[in-house]
Structure 1
């Protein structure tokens, strides 16, 4: 039964993501998307952002949405002169509804994107779509399209600058001195006990563990603090039920606190 419940959560999320999306305008503007310009950086990349504006009372989700969220997905295939795309996620909020925890944003999400052009001498056109979930009393899958040629001469954009300032601290910035992951086989998958030595991020800290493999799902961790060490215990399973191996260097631990968030890339054997 334990495995069935966990597998059902994975399947439910997948079903939301695969349901035929409705266009935003068809739902009376529940969410709208526009592209912001931030100009060229000193290194020659383009800085832009996808801005989502939500109606009052609605929310959308972070890349790891929690128990009952829908993970966003991006399709850049219609873009021109786009090499690498790097997304910076502002620190999200934690919501608890009907005993389920989800992680995301309300009101507005400005999602900075840094684009490396294939040819620095040619313009960059961002064209594609974003699949996401928006929730109030019910959750609705959305597909929002975008088509925008970035302005290389645009000046500093305050909205993009504010979103970048809201990113989680790096491990170094948060004074993380150790991050270990002890892996233990279970009947369903693998248990992770992550131990992160760092000062408190404030209030009731919540850890999120991402396995680094899209076919794997990590249960919301039980998070406790033992002095200077935050302990987060989770179980990772495969949606297909197949056996798998975890690469500690790919495990991502995010700590969400009242004062700030911390993004920790990789952990050592513990």
Structure 2
């Protein structure tokens, strides 16, 4: 790619120095492009159909069995997609959560103790809803989807509905005080916090640690537009505040020197103190 750009720039500069038309020089460059061999048929005619292009791709086999090309697959219970989208995975988590709730509904419907009922829900349904959430980027869409699903499950648990809540003038906070359930977003943030510390304290040079500590080269430019939410954004949101325990402020003399969150994660005690629901908050 760099050689092509240098060739294009060199020809345009030569045309400018010789006072020739830049438009004609660009047209000559455009006509000089030739299709690559991979998209030519046997007669040398370019292939424009995607189906025919895929026919030319050699079949990859493993132990004699052909490997099927796919845009998404499920690994260890979590769906991975080539485009990095987690919307279909969120729908899978929603179905798994309702299935887990269905397995305990018969018991929770007859429990009178709210604490036992909440403990049963948080130990069965919440892990199914937030499975592998420590690897998610916490976008506003993901947060809204998880909250909506969890509130629907919460209403079913205590035997109410949205019309009943409106008639009784109850809010979601009122229902949460009745159900005593854990907040799913706090659950995900703590899971991400534990996972980040675990990954960065590894010393066996695994790929997950390398990817987490990787930084793009300084000469790399990102495409225009708003960048997508990254996995580390929700961690940097609270871990970048290196305040001591107590009522310290940004101008306080007790403020500790700034350390990047990847450095703080190597210190288990320091990383525990900047927990999103810990004492350092």
TM-score category (smaller protein): under 0.3
Larger RCO: Structure 1 or Structure 2 (Cα < 8 Å, ≥ 6 residues apart)? 1
Q: TM-score, normalised by structure 1?
A: 0.24
- Structure 2 length-normalised TM: 0.24
